[in-house]
A and B are shown apart, each in its own frame.
Chain A
């Protein structure tokens, strides 16, 4: 059996009296493509924030690549190989597109032991990642010059530039057209083929079904289903959560 890359064990998070996450257990295997779905407010983004260190989970453990993540800051987790994209793109507005990619190269890749890229190599890598998301023509432009879909691609390219083992894409496709969604799904599958484990958080079921090898469903801060996509969407409890009863 393949190695577990991410193990979430009993993770819980409250905001005051509101229980955002309750006793979440899940595991993700190296190289897997996992979809994480759930209605609005079910705790998907809170879970991502707890995984990435933006929020601190009150109970439970997150283990990544064999290491306990509790107490580590967001940038430390990024350096260990956990990258994320944000639900709403958060580009560095005053930096050019190429420089947006340069930041994770300077601060994550170059901060890892045993790697040091020269400025020439960094330039090349920037170009490479921009080509990957077909933004290489806009390297010297600024985030304000990009369209929605290009902004999403920049978001993914920036996460990729940190050379992660695990990529968490938080609603990378919200608000995009049919064709654009296919475009991003194809991109994520390409990244996965490079050996990167991907967790996709998404509302667009067509994208999730095309992408995921396994589906996890959160409802009201609890995990209610975890299994192959076809089984999960036929699960009566999932149907109830989505369609109401």
Chain B
């Protein structure tokens, strides 16, 4: 299927999701749905680097926070509409991704993962000490109650995140089927053999970190408007790093469907648990499921499905 057609179909699915949510006529649906959608974007973004090229990034929270704090910065400096903030955040996070990649991609395996973890710590320290964006006190974002045409502001945020999901999934799927996708797969499998086949591995890894970082930043851009009050501990929360890894792992990392399934499943489960049990149990659920999947189904739900129906991965 051509990417253009896929974009139209996924946009139609997105519209249906929006219509369904609107049919409930309950703001909480939008509020909870936003979080799930945000995790779809984060998981898809993580998978571009972690799933396609095999480089595990523990610093997703850093890229997410870069997006969120870019919004906070511009909210104070010169207020811009959210779609513009998303583009700016994506650019900033993408550049940081490129820089991080350039400095760390000579490291392999565990060392790369540690370096990304360090990035998150360094950035959090910077933000905590940066008064303009609120420092350790945090920053309040007074969002408007209503927005033109759509009306309710939470519906507007939901719609924006839905659009971002469609864009992220379409991009991930397009990458997967392109020359770039084959190049990424060879890096995941064997970098030495990839170079010997003419694949410029460093360049491709930099493209992957840039794209992955940019989408994570984009996912973070509307967050201050959603949460209303942003402080470093929530922007750099452990849940972003853990979920971004767990969702693709549980769904399956080799295709765009995996992060989508994983994010819907885990994201919804967490929202339900927050309401019915407590918000603290969230990470426990993720942890237990991740351990279970790594042991029982290392290829995730997509892998299980393919094995079951005899189709080769």
Residues in A lying within 8 Å of B, measured CB to CB: 52-54, 73-75, 78-79, 83-84, 86, 90-96, 99, 102-104, 106-108, 110-111, 140-142, 158-159, 162
Contact = CB atoms under 8 A, between A and B. Distances in A.
Given A103-B182, A106-B182, A107-B179, A93 B189 contact: yes
Interface in B289-313: 312-313
B196 A92 contact: no
B254 interface: yes
A75 B190 contact: no
A94 B312 CA distance: 10
B186 interface: yes
Contacts of A159: 196
Interface of B: 179, 182-183, 185-186, 188-190, 192-201, 254, 312-313
Contacts, number: 86
B interface SS class: helix
B3 to A, nearest CB: 14
B182 A96 contact: no
A103 to B, nearest CB: 5
A142 B189 CA distance: 13
B81 to A, nearest CB: 40
Contacts of B312: 96, 140-142
Contacts of A107: 179, 182-183, 197-200
Nearest to B198: A108
A142 B186 CA distance: 14
Contacts of B195: 53-54, 73-75, 78
Contacts of B188: 94
Contact of A75 (B182, B198, B313): B198
Nearest to A79: B198
Contact of B186 (A78, A83, A95): A95
Shortest beta-carbon contacts, A-B, top 7: A108-B198, A74-B195, A90-B193, A107-B198, A92-B189, A104-B197, A78-B198
